A and B are shown apart, each in its own frame.
Chain A
Protein backbone atom coordinates (compact mmCIF):
# COMPACT_ATOMS: atom_id res chain seq x y z
CA UNK A 1 0.00 0.00 0.00
CA UNK A 2 1.31 3.43 -0.96
CA UNK A 3 2.07 5.82 1.90
CA UNK A 4 3.02 9.43 1.05
CA UNK A 5 6.63 10.05 1.99
CA UNK A 6 5.81 12.76 4.56
CA UNK A 7 3.57 10.31 6.47
CA UNK A 8 5.82 7.25 6.24
CA UNK A 9 7.28 7.20 9.77
CA UNK A 10 4.06 8.39 11.41
CA UNK A 11 2.05 5.73 9.58
CA UNK A 12 0.79 2.47 11.06
CA UNK A 13 2.68 0.33 8.52
CA UNK A 14 3.43 -3.11 9.96
CA UNK A 15 6.87 -3.15 11.57
CA UNK A 16 7.62 -6.55 10.05
CA UNK A 17 7.26 -5.23 6.48
CA UNK A 18 10.52 -6.02 4.63
CA UNK A 19 12.25 -2.83 3.51
CA UNK A 20 15.74 -3.60 2.29
CA UNK A 21 17.78 -6.71 1.52
CA UNK A 22 21.29 -5.70 2.58
CA UNK A 23 24.36 -7.91 2.18
CA UNK A 24 24.25 -8.53 5.94
CA UNK A 25 20.56 -9.36 6.13
CA UNK A 26 17.00 -8.17 5.82
CA UNK A 27 15.95 -4.78 7.21
CA UNK A 28 12.32 -4.40 8.25
CA UNK A 29 10.23 -1.28 8.65
CA UNK A 30 10.87 -1.46 12.42
CA UNK A 31 14.64 -1.49 11.78
CA UNK A 32 14.26 1.53 9.51
CA UNK A 33 12.24 3.42 12.11
CA UNK A 34 14.63 2.64 14.97
CA UNK A 35 17.83 3.35 13.03
CA UNK A 36 16.32 6.61 11.80
CA UNK A 37 15.41 7.47 15.39
CA UNK A 38 19.04 7.09 16.46
CA UNK A 39 20.30 9.45 13.76
CA UNK A 40 17.44 11.86 14.42
CA UNK A 41 18.33 12.12 18.11
CA UNK A 42 22.02 12.65 17.33
CA UNK A 43 21.24 15.44 14.85
CA UNK A 44 18.80 17.09 17.27
CA UNK A 45 21.20 16.89 20.21
CA UNK A 46 23.86 18.79 18.32
CA UNK A 47 21.34 21.18 16.82
CA UNK A 48 22.49 20.49 13.26
CA UNK A 49 20.63 22.66 10.69
CA UNK A 50 22.15 21.44 7.45
CA UNK A 51 23.78 18.20 6.28
CA UNK A 52 25.42 16.75 3.20
CA UNK A 53 23.90 13.33 2.55
CA UNK A 54 26.03 10.87 0.55
CA UNK A 55 26.20 7.13 1.13
CA UNK A 56 27.20 3.85 -0.45
CA UNK A 57 24.10 1.98 0.67
CA UNK A 58 20.65 3.14 -0.43
CA UNK A 59 19.27 1.87 2.86
CA UNK A 60 21.72 4.03 4.82
CA UNK A 61 20.64 6.91 2.60
CA UNK A 62 16.99 6.26 3.47
CA UNK A 63 17.65 6.43 7.22
CA UNK A 64 19.78 9.57 6.81
CA UNK A 65 17.20 11.23 4.56
CA UNK A 66 14.30 10.57 6.92
CA UNK A 67 16.28 11.49 10.05
CA UNK A 68 17.48 14.81 8.60
CA UNK A 69 14.01 15.80 7.35
CA UNK A 70 12.37 14.97 10.69
CA UNK A 71 15.12 16.90 12.51
CA UNK A 72 14.36 19.98 10.36
CA UNK A 73 17.74 19.80 8.65
CA UNK A 74 18.23 21.19 5.20
CA UNK A 75 19.71 18.42 3.01
CA UNK A 76 22.36 18.70 0.30
CA UNK A 77 22.47 15.71 -2.07
CA UNK A 78 25.71 15.74 -4.13
CA UNK A 79 25.78 13.67 -7.36
CA UNK A 80 28.39 11.30 -5.93
CA UNK A 81 30.42 10.66 -2.77
CA UNK A 82 33.85 11.32 -4.30
CA UNK A 83 36.25 13.16 -1.96
CA UNK A 84 36.65 16.09 -4.38
CA UNK A 85 32.88 16.52 -4.61
CA UNK A 86 32.24 16.32 -0.85
CA UNK A 87 34.94 18.96 -0.24
CA UNK A 88 32.67 21.50 -1.98
CA UNK A 89 30.05 21.21 0.74
CA UNK A 90 31.23 19.64 3.99
CA UNK A 91 32.23 21.91 6.88
CA UNK A 92 31.62 22.76 10.53
CA UNK A 93 28.09 24.04 9.89
CA UNK A 94 27.27 21.42 7.33
CA UNK A 95 28.53 17.98 8.38
CA UNK A 96 28.48 14.86 6.25
CA UNK A 97 25.81 12.29 6.98
CA UNK A 98 27.22 9.09 5.50
CA UNK A 99 27.95 5.39 5.94
CA UNK A 100 31.47 5.91 4.55
CA UNK A 101 33.77 6.03 7.54
CA UNK A 102 36.08 9.05 7.60
CA UNK A 103 34.74 10.60 4.39
CA UNK A 104 33.71 13.79 6.19
CA UNK A 105 36.92 14.15 8.23
CA UNK A 106 36.15 15.93 11.49
CA UNK A 107 32.65 16.85 10.35
CA UNK A 108 30.76 13.62 10.04
CA UNK A 109 27.76 11.79 11.42
CA UNK A 110 28.36 8.15 10.67
CA UNK A 111 25.30 6.18 9.57
CA UNK A 112 26.24 2.97 11.36
CA UNK A 113 22.92 1.21 11.85
CA UNK A 114 22.80 1.96 15.60
CA UNK A 115 19.40 1.57 17.21
CA UNK A 116 18.07 4.50 19.20
CA UNK A 117 15.30 4.84 21.72
CA UNK A 118 11.86 4.90 20.14
CA UNK A 119 10.77 8.27 18.77
CA UNK A 120 7.16 9.18 18.14
CA UNK A 121 7.54 10.73 14.69
CA UNK A 122 4.91 13.16 13.45
CA UNK A 123 4.08 13.98 9.81
CA UNK A 124 6.59 16.05 7.85
CA UNK A 125 5.42 19.35 6.36
CA UNK A 126 5.99 18.88 2.60
CA UNK A 127 5.62 22.61 1.90
CA UNK A 128 8.33 23.53 4.39
CA UNK A 129 10.94 20.76 4.21
CA UNK A 130 13.40 21.21 1.38
CA UNK A 131 16.61 19.86 -0.11
CA UNK A 132 19.19 20.73 -2.74
CA UNK A 133 20.23 18.33 -5.45
CA UNK A 134 23.46 19.07 -7.29
CA UNK A 135 24.26 18.12 -10.87
CA UNK A 136 27.45 18.58 -12.88
CA UNK A 137 27.09 22.15 -14.14
CA UNK A 138 28.22 23.34 -17.56
CA UNK A 139 30.80 25.73 -16.05
CA UNK A 140 32.83 23.24 -14.05
CA UNK A 141 31.16 23.83 -10.68
CA UNK A 142 28.30 21.64 -9.45
CA UNK A 143 24.91 23.22 -10.13
CA UNK A 144 22.35 23.57 -7.35
CA UNK A 145 18.79 22.35 -8.00
CA UNK A 146 16.55 23.14 -5.00
CA UNK A 147 13.37 21.13 -4.35
CA UNK A 148 10.62 21.25 -1.79
CA UNK A 149 9.61 17.97 -0.24
CA UNK A 150 6.15 18.58 -1.75
CA UNK A 151 7.69 18.28 -5.24
CA UNK A 152 9.35 14.99 -4.34
CA UNK A 153 6.13 13.73 -2.78
CA UNK A 154 3.92 14.79 -5.70
CA UNK A 155 6.18 13.10 -8.21
CA UNK A 156 6.28 9.86 -6.21
CA UNK A 157 2.45 9.86 -6.24
CA UNK A 158 2.48 10.21 -10.02
CA UNK A 159 5.04 7.40 -10.38
CA UNK A 160 2.90 5.17 -8.18
CA UNK A 161 -0.18 6.04 -10.21
CA UNK A 162 1.65 5.20 -13.44
CA UNK A 163 3.58 2.05 -12.43
CA UNK A 164 2.34 0.97 -8.98
CA UNK A 165 0.02 -1.64 -10.47
CA UNK A 166 2.69 -3.26 -12.64
CA UNK A 167 5.24 -3.26 -9.81
CA UNK A 168 3.02 -4.78 -7.14
CA UNK A 169 5.06 -7.05 -4.88
CA UNK A 170 8.26 -6.76 -6.93
CA UNK A 171 11.63 -6.25 -5.32
CA UNK A 172 13.83 -3.56 -6.88
CA UNK A 173 17.52 -3.81 -7.81
CA UNK A 174 19.57 -1.16 -9.56
CA UNK A 175 22.78 -0.48 -11.39
CA UNK A 176 22.41 3.25 -10.71
CA UNK A 177 23.17 5.35 -7.65
CA UNK A 178 20.55 6.94 -5.39
CA UNK A 179 22.65 10.15 -5.36
CA UNK A 180 20.95 11.08 -8.65
CA UNK A 181 17.24 11.88 -8.70
CA UNK A 182 16.35 8.98 -11.04
CA UNK A 183 17.99 6.35 -8.83
CA UNK A 184 16.71 8.03 -5.67
CA UNK A 185 13.09 7.93 -6.83
CA UNK A 186 12.94 4.63 -8.72
CA UNK A 187 15.36 2.48 -6.76
CA UNK A 188 14.73 3.80 -3.26
CA UNK A 189 11.82 6.17 -2.51
CA UNK A 190 9.13 4.59 -4.72
CA UNK A 191 9.70 1.06 -3.33
CA UNK A 192 9.87 2.52 0.19
CA UNK A 193 6.54 4.38 -0.17
CA UNK A 194 4.87 1.42 -1.88
CA UNK A 195 6.10 -1.02 0.76
CA UNK A 196 8.20 -3.06 -1.69
CA UNK A 197 11.62 -4.55 -0.95
CA UNK A 198 14.69 -2.84 -2.40
CA UNK A 199 18.34 -3.86 -2.62
CA UNK A 200 20.59 -1.08 -1.28
CA UNK A 201 23.66 -2.07 -3.33
CA UNK A 202 24.49 -0.40 -6.62
CA UNK A 203 25.28 -3.39 -8.81
CA UNK A 204 28.09 -2.70 -11.27
CA UNK A 205 28.22 -6.23 -12.69
CA UNK A 206 25.16 -7.91 -14.23
CA UNK A 207 26.18 -11.35 -12.97
CA UNK A 208 26.12 -10.10 -9.39
CA UNK A 209 22.77 -8.41 -9.84
CA UNK A 210 21.16 -11.52 -11.30
CA UNK A 211 22.64 -13.73 -8.60
CA UNK A 212 20.99 -11.51 -5.98
CA UNK A 213 17.67 -10.86 -7.77
CA UNK A 214 14.56 -12.69 -6.61
CA UNK A 215 12.19 -13.84 -9.39
CA UNK A 216 10.11 -11.06 -10.96
CA UNK A 217 12.26 -8.20 -9.74
CA UNK A 218 12.09 -4.65 -11.11
CA UNK A 219 15.40 -3.40 -12.54
CA UNK A 220 16.55 0.23 -12.41
CA UNK A 221 19.37 0.69 -14.87
CA UNK A 222 20.89 2.98 -17.49
CA UNK A 223 22.05 2.90 -21.10
CA UNK A 224 25.62 2.24 -19.86
CA UNK A 225 24.53 -1.13 -18.48
CA UNK A 226 21.73 -2.04 -20.89
CA UNK A 227 24.12 -1.75 -23.85
CA UNK A 228 26.46 -4.22 -22.12
CA UNK A 229 24.36 -7.21 -21.14
CA UNK A 230 26.39 -10.45 -21.23
CA UNK A 231 25.10 -13.32 -23.41
CA UNK A 232 22.78 -14.72 -20.73
CA UNK A 233 20.08 -17.26 -21.38
CA UNK A 234 16.72 -15.48 -21.21
CA UNK A 235 15.11 -15.54 -17.76
CA UNK A 236 12.39 -18.21 -17.45
CA UNK A 237 8.88 -16.75 -17.86
CA UNK A 238 8.10 -17.02 -14.17
CA UNK A 239 11.19 -14.96 -13.28
CA UNK A 240 10.83 -12.21 -15.87
CA UNK A 241 11.06 -8.61 -14.77
CA UNK A 242 7.78 -6.63 -14.66
CA UNK A 243 9.46 -3.28 -15.49
CA UNK A 244 13.01 -2.28 -16.41
CA UNK A 245 13.54 1.44 -15.88
CA UNK A 246 16.31 3.34 -17.63
CA UNK A 247 17.11 7.03 -17.77
CA UNK A 248 19.87 9.55 -18.31
CA UNK A 249 20.31 9.27 -22.05
CA UNK A 250 19.03 7.71 -25.23
CA UNK A 251 18.79 3.91 -25.22
CA UNK A 252 19.89 2.39 -28.54
CA UNK A 253 17.08 0.43 -30.23
CA UNK A 254 19.16 -2.79 -30.33
CA UNK A 255 19.87 -2.55 -26.59
CA UNK A 256 16.13 -2.23 -25.89
CA UNK A 257 15.43 -5.38 -27.93
CA UNK A 258 18.31 -7.26 -26.27
CA UNK A 259 16.98 -6.41 -22.79
CA UNK A 260 13.51 -7.62 -23.77
CA UNK A 261 14.90 -10.90 -25.07
CA UNK A 262 16.77 -11.59 -21.82
CA UNK A 263 14.73 -10.00 -19.03
CA UNK A 264 11.14 -9.80 -20.31
CA UNK A 265 9.72 -6.39 -21.13
CA UNK A 266 11.09 -3.63 -23.31
CA UNK A 267 12.88 -1.20 -21.02
CA UNK A 268 10.81 1.79 -19.90
CA UNK A 269 12.83 4.87 -20.79
CA UNK A 270 12.09 7.72 -18.41
CA UNK A 271 12.80 11.12 -19.90
CA UNK A 272 13.33 14.01 -17.50
CA UNK A 273 15.94 15.99 -15.62
CA UNK A 274 16.86 16.86 -12.06
CA UNK A 275 15.30 20.30 -12.63
CA UNK A 276 11.94 19.15 -14.02
CA UNK A 277 11.66 15.66 -12.53
CA UNK A 278 10.23 12.88 -14.69
CA UNK A 279 8.50 14.20 -17.81
CA UNK A 280 7.55 11.27 -20.02
CA UNK A 281 8.29 7.63 -20.78
CA UNK A 282 8.30 5.16 -23.62
CA UNK A 283 8.99 1.53 -24.48
CA UNK A 284 10.90 1.47 -27.72
CA UNK A 285 8.89 -0.85 -30.01
CA UNK A 286 10.21 1.19 -32.88
CA UNK A 287 13.05 3.73 -32.92
CA UNK A 288 10.41 6.41 -33.60
CA UNK A 289 8.16 5.45 -30.67
CA UNK A 290 7.20 8.79 -29.07
CA UNK A 291 7.45 9.62 -25.37
CA UNK A 292 4.12 9.82 -23.55
CA UNK A 293 3.91 12.43 -20.76
CA UNK A 294 3.44 11.13 -17.21
CA UNK A 295 -0.04 11.63 -15.68
CA UNK A 296 -0.67 15.34 -15.03
CA UNK A 297 2.34 16.51 -17.06
CA UNK A 298 1.58 19.28 -19.60
CA UNK A 299 3.89 19.89 -22.56
CA UNK A 300 4.32 22.75 -25.06
CA UNK A 301 7.00 23.94 -27.48
CA UNK A 302 8.21 27.35 -28.62
CA UNK A 303 9.00 28.39 -32.21
CA UNK A 304 12.32 26.49 -32.18
CA UNK A 305 10.71 23.33 -30.86
CA UNK A 306 12.16 23.82 -27.36
CA UNK A 307 10.12 21.75 -24.89
CA UNK A 308 8.56 23.31 -21.78
CA UNK A 309 6.72 21.31 -19.14
CA UNK A 310 4.37 21.97 -16.22
CA UNK A 311 3.02 19.74 -13.46
CA UNK A 312 2.41 19.75 -9.73
CA UNK A 313 6.09 18.97 -9.21
CA UNK A 314 7.76 21.52 -11.52
CA UNK A 315 9.10 24.61 -9.66
CA UNK A 316 6.17 26.72 -8.34
CA UNK A 317 3.93 24.34 -10.34
CA UNK A 318 4.73 26.57 -13.30
CA UNK A 319 6.12 26.11 -16.84
CA UNK A 320 9.78 25.11 -16.93
CA UNK A 321 11.85 25.17 -20.13
CA UNK A 322 14.02 22.12 -20.81
CA UNK A 323 17.16 22.01 -22.97
CA UNK A 324 15.55 19.64 -25.43
CA UNK A 325 14.20 20.21 -28.91
CA UNK A 326 11.22 17.94 -29.67
CA UNK A 327 8.66 17.18 -32.30
CA UNK A 328 5.31 17.54 -30.50
CA UNK A 329 2.50 15.27 -31.71
CA UNK A 330 -1.24 15.92 -31.53
CA UNK A 331 -1.84 13.69 -28.52
CA UNK A 332 0.86 15.68 -26.60
CA UNK A 333 3.38 12.86 -26.92
CA UNK A 334 6.70 13.82 -28.50
CA UNK A 335 9.82 12.64 -30.29
CA UNK A 336 13.21 13.87 -29.10
CA UNK A 337 15.07 15.77 -31.80
CA UNK A 338 18.21 17.04 -30.03
CA UNK A 339 19.62 19.21 -27.33
CA UNK A 340 19.45 22.97 -27.52
CA UNK A 341 22.74 23.91 -25.95
CA UNK A 342 26.23 22.62 -25.38
CA UNK A 343 25.43 20.04 -22.77
CA UNK A 344 27.57 16.99 -23.25
CA UNK A 345 26.11 13.66 -22.37
CA UNK A 346 28.13 10.46 -22.34
CA UNK A 347 26.74 7.15 -21.15
CA UNK A 348 23.70 9.08 -19.95
CA UNK A 349 25.77 11.25 -17.62
CA UNK A 350 25.88 15.02 -17.90
CA UNK A 351 29.53 15.91 -18.26
CA UNK A 352 31.15 19.31 -17.97
CA UNK A 353 34.10 19.43 -20.36
CA UNK A 354 35.42 22.51 -18.54
CA UNK A 355 35.49 20.52 -15.32
CA UNK A 356 37.40 17.60 -16.83
CA UNK A 357 39.97 20.01 -18.31
CA UNK A 358 40.27 21.84 -15.00
CA UNK A 359 41.19 18.67 -13.10
CA UNK A 360 43.41 17.37 -15.88
CA UNK A 361 45.47 20.55 -15.96
CA UNK A 362 46.10 20.18 -12.22
CA UNK A 363 48.25 17.09 -12.88
CA UNK A 364 52.00 17.65 -12.72
CA UNK A 365 52.25 15.77 -16.04
CA UNK A 366 49.97 18.20 -17.85
CA UNK A 367 50.54 21.73 -19.13
CA UNK A 368 47.30 22.19 -21.05
CA UNK A 369 44.46 20.03 -22.29
CA UNK A 370 41.43 19.93 -24.55
CA UNK A 371 38.60 17.51 -23.77
CA UNK A 372 35.78 16.97 -26.26
CA UNK A 373 33.38 14.50 -27.80
CA UNK A 374 34.64 12.64 -30.85
CA UNK A 375 31.94 11.26 -33.12
CA UNK A 376 33.76 8.12 -34.27
CA UNK A 377 30.76 5.95 -35.04
CA UNK A 378 29.69 6.29 -31.44
CA UNK A 379 30.34 9.27 -29.18
CA UNK A 380 33.59 9.01 -27.26
CA UNK A 381 35.04 11.39 -24.69
CA UNK A 382 38.63 12.15 -25.75
CA UNK A 383 41.53 14.26 -24.47
CA UNK A 384 44.36 16.03 -26.28
CA UNK A 385 47.06 16.74 -23.73
CA UNK A 386 50.09 18.99 -23.82
CA UNK A 387 52.61 17.30 -21.51
CA UNK A 388 55.01 18.94 -19.07
CA UNK A 389 58.69 17.93 -18.83
CA UNK A 390 57.88 15.34 -16.17
CA UNK A 391 54.93 14.24 -18.28
CA UNK A 392 57.21 13.46 -21.23
CA UNK A 393 59.65 11.65 -18.94
CA UNK A 394 56.86 9.45 -17.67
CA UNK A 395 55.62 8.96 -21.22
CA UNK A 396 59.03 7.59 -22.09
CA UNK A 397 59.20 5.36 -19.03
CA UNK A 398 55.77 3.72 -19.04
CA UNK A 399 54.40 4.44 -22.52
CA UNK A 400 51.37 6.36 -23.73
CA UNK A 401 48.72 3.83 -22.68
CA UNK A 402 49.77 3.50 -19.05
CA UNK A 403 50.28 7.27 -18.88
CA UNK A 404 46.70 7.79 -20.07
CA UNK A 405 45.46 5.34 -17.44
CA UNK A 406 47.58 7.04 -14.77
CA UNK A 407 45.92 10.34 -15.70
CA UNK A 408 42.49 8.69 -15.51
CA UNK A 409 43.39 7.52 -12.01
CA UNK A 410 44.40 11.06 -11.05
CA UNK A 411 41.00 12.31 -12.22
CA UNK A 412 38.99 9.57 -10.56
CA UNK A 413 38.68 11.09 -7.06
CA UNK A 414 36.90 14.07 -8.63
CA UNK A 415 35.11 12.71 -11.68
CA UNK A 416 32.75 9.83 -12.34
CA UNK A 417 33.79 7.04 -14.71
CA UNK A 418 31.79 8.44 -17.62
CA UNK A 419 33.73 11.72 -17.36
CA UNK A 420 37.11 10.00 -17.73
CA UNK A 421 38.36 10.39 -21.33
CA UNK A 422 38.64 7.04 -23.14
CA UNK A 423 40.99 8.00 -25.96
CA UNK A 424 44.08 10.13 -25.52
CA UNK A 425 46.62 11.98 -27.63
CA UNK A 426 49.78 13.56 -26.26
CA UNK A 427 51.15 16.58 -28.11
CA UNK A 428 53.95 19.17 -27.83
CA UNK A 429 51.43 22.00 -28.38
CA UNK A 430 47.65 22.03 -28.53
CA UNK A 431 46.60 23.04 -32.06
CA UNK A 432 45.60 26.72 -31.83
CA UNK A 433 45.32 29.47 -34.40
CA UNK A 434 47.00 32.89 -34.30
CA UNK A 435 44.27 34.21 -32.00
CA UNK A 436 44.92 31.38 -29.56
CA UNK A 437 41.62 29.74 -30.46
CA UNK A 438 41.61 25.97 -30.52
CA UNK A 439 41.55 24.32 -33.92
CA UNK A 440 38.88 21.68 -33.50
CA UNK A 441 39.40 20.17 -36.96
CA UNK A 442 43.11 19.66 -36.29
CA UNK A 443 42.31 18.06 -32.96
CA UNK A 444 39.76 15.68 -34.49
CA UNK A 445 42.42 14.79 -37.06
CA UNK A 446 44.75 13.54 -34.30
CA UNK A 447 42.32 10.68 -33.67
CA UNK A 448 42.02 9.64 -37.30
CA UNK A 449 45.16 7.51 -37.26
CA UNK A 450 46.59 5.08 -34.70
CA UNK A 451 47.73 6.36 -31.31
CA UNK A 452 51.15 7.54 -30.24
CA UNK A 453 52.76 10.86 -29.40
CA UNK A 454 52.38 13.65 -31.90
Chain B
Protein backbone atom coordinates (compact mmCIF):
# COMPACT_ATOMS: atom_id res chain seq x y z
CA UNK B 1 0.00 0.00 0.00
CA UNK B 2 1.07 3.52 -0.78
CA UNK B 3 2.55 5.06 2.40
CA UNK B 4 0.92 8.43 1.96
CA UNK B 5 -2.49 6.88 1.40
CA UNK B 6 -2.05 4.91 4.62
CA UNK B 7 -1.15 8.12 6.43
CA UNK B 8 -4.38 9.71 5.21
CA UNK B 9 -6.38 6.66 6.28
CA UNK B 10 -4.86 7.00 9.73
CA UNK B 11 -5.80 10.67 9.76
CA UNK B 12 -9.41 9.81 8.79
CA UNK B 13 -9.76 7.19 11.51
CA UNK B 14 -8.13 9.37 14.16
CA UNK B 15 -9.85 12.68 13.29
CA UNK B 16 -13.31 11.20 13.10
CA UNK B 17 -12.78 8.80 16.01
CA UNK B 18 -13.94 5.94 13.83
CA UNK B 19 -14.39 2.80 15.86
CA UNK B 20 -14.47 -0.80 14.75
CA UNK B 21 -12.33 -0.10 11.73
CA UNK B 22 -8.57 0.11 11.21
CA UNK B 23 -6.87 2.37 8.66
CA UNK B 24 -5.79 -0.75 6.73
CA UNK B 25 -9.42 -1.76 6.27
CA UNK B 26 -10.23 1.34 4.24
CA UNK B 27 -9.87 0.77 0.52
CA UNK B 28 -7.97 3.57 -1.24
CA UNK B 29 -10.52 3.76 -4.02
CA UNK B 30 -13.62 3.28 -1.91
CA UNK B 31 -15.95 6.27 -1.84
CA UNK B 32 -15.58 8.15 1.44
CA UNK B 33 -19.05 9.65 1.58
CA UNK B 34 -22.60 8.31 1.39
CA UNK B 35 -22.16 4.74 0.17
CA UNK B 36 -18.71 3.19 0.53
CA UNK B 37 -17.31 4.25 3.88
CA UNK B 38 -20.48 6.21 4.66
CA UNK B 39 -19.13 9.48 6.06
CA UNK B 40 -21.54 12.43 6.34
CA UNK B 41 -21.40 16.21 6.04
CA UNK B 42 -20.21 16.80 9.61
CA UNK B 43 -17.41 14.28 8.98
CA UNK B 44 -16.57 16.27 5.84
CA UNK B 45 -16.24 19.49 7.84
CA UNK B 46 -13.96 17.87 10.41
CA UNK B 47 -11.87 16.11 7.80
CA UNK B 48 -11.45 19.35 5.85
CA UNK B 49 -10.19 21.12 8.98
CA UNK B 50 -7.79 18.28 9.86
CA UNK B 51 -6.29 18.13 6.37
CA UNK B 52 -5.71 21.88 6.22
CA UNK B 53 -4.13 21.88 9.68
CA UNK B 54 -1.99 18.79 9.13
CA UNK B 55 -0.68 19.62 5.68
CA UNK B 56 -0.73 23.41 5.83
CA UNK B 57 -2.68 23.68 2.59
CA UNK B 58 -5.68 25.87 1.82
CA UNK B 59 -8.85 24.52 0.36
CA UNK B 60 -10.37 27.09 -1.92
CA UNK B 61 -13.87 26.38 -3.15
CA UNK B 62 -13.48 28.92 -5.94
CA UNK B 63 -10.84 26.97 -7.84
CA UNK B 64 -11.25 23.41 -6.75
CA UNK B 65 -13.82 20.78 -7.23
CA UNK B 66 -14.09 19.77 -3.58
CA UNK B 67 -16.39 16.83 -4.14
CA UNK B 68 -13.93 15.21 -6.55
CA UNK B 69 -10.95 15.74 -4.26
CA UNK B 70 -12.79 14.24 -1.30
CA UNK B 71 -14.17 11.28 -3.27
CA UNK B 72 -11.67 8.71 -2.01
CA UNK B 73 -8.41 8.36 -0.11
CA UNK B 74 -6.57 8.14 -3.43
CA UNK B 75 -8.05 11.36 -4.81
CA UNK B 76 -7.33 13.10 -1.49
CA UNK B 77 -3.72 11.93 -1.59
CA UNK B 78 -3.33 13.25 -5.13
CA UNK B 79 -4.93 16.56 -4.19
CA UNK B 80 -2.79 17.11 -1.08
CA UNK B 81 0.40 16.14 -2.93
CA UNK B 82 -0.23 18.62 -5.74
CA UNK B 83 -1.22 21.41 -3.34
CA UNK B 84 1.95 20.92 -1.31
CA UNK B 85 4.07 21.01 -4.47
CA UNK B 86 2.53 24.35 -5.34
CA UNK B 87 3.30 25.67 -1.87
CA UNK B 88 6.91 24.49 -2.14
CA UNK B 89 7.39 26.07 -5.58
The answer to whether A and B come from one shared complex is yes
Q: Contacts of A232 on B, CB cut-off 8 Å?
A: 58
Given known contacts A228-B49, A230-B49, A408 and B38 CB-to-CB distance under 8 angstroms: yes
Q: Contacts of B52 on A, CB cut-off 8 Å?
A: 230-231
Q: Does B62 make an interface contact (CB < 8 A)?
A: yes
Q: Does A402 make an interface contact (CB < 8 A)?
A: yes
Q: Tell me the B residues contacting A by CB distance below 8 Å.
A: 17-21, 25, 34-35, 37-42, 44-46, 48-49, 52-53, 58-62, 66
Q: Contacts of A224 on B, CB cut-off 8 Å?
A: 42
- Bound complex: CA of A228 vs CA of B45, how far in Å? 6
Check if B38 sits within 8 Å of A228, measured CB to CB: no
Check if A211 sits within 8 Å of B19, measured CB to CB: no
Check if B66 sits within 8 Å of A405, measured CB to CB: no
Q: How many A-B residue pairs have CB under 8 A?
A: 75
- Bound complex: CA of A405 vs CA of B38, how far in Å? 5
Consensus secondary structure, chain B interface:
loop
Check if B41 sits within 8 Å of A417, measured CB to CB: yes
Check if A205 sits within 8 Å of B20, measured CB to CB: no
Number of interface residues of A (CB under 8 A): 32
- Bound complex: CA of A205 vs CA of B47, how far in Å? 11
Expressed in whole angstroms, the minimum distance between the Cβ of A441 and any Cβ of chain B is: 20
Q: Does A316 make an interface contact (CB < 8 A)?
A: no
What would be 13 A-B contacts, judged by CB atoms less than 8 Å apart? A206-B48, A207-B59, A207-B60, A208-B66, A228-B42, A228-B49, A229-B49, A230-B52, A401-B19, A402-B21, A408-B38, A409-B35, A452-B20
Choice from A211, A229, A451 contacting B61 with Cβ under 8 Å: A211
- Bound complex: CA of A15 vs CA of B37, how far in Å? 49
Expressed in whole angstroms, the minimum distance between the Cβ of B52 and any Cβ of chain A is: 5
Expressed in whole angstroms, the minimum distance between the Cβ of B56 and any Cβ of chain A is: 9
Check if A423 sits within 8 Å of B42, measured CB to CB: no
Check if A210 sits within 8 Å of B20, measured CB to CB: no
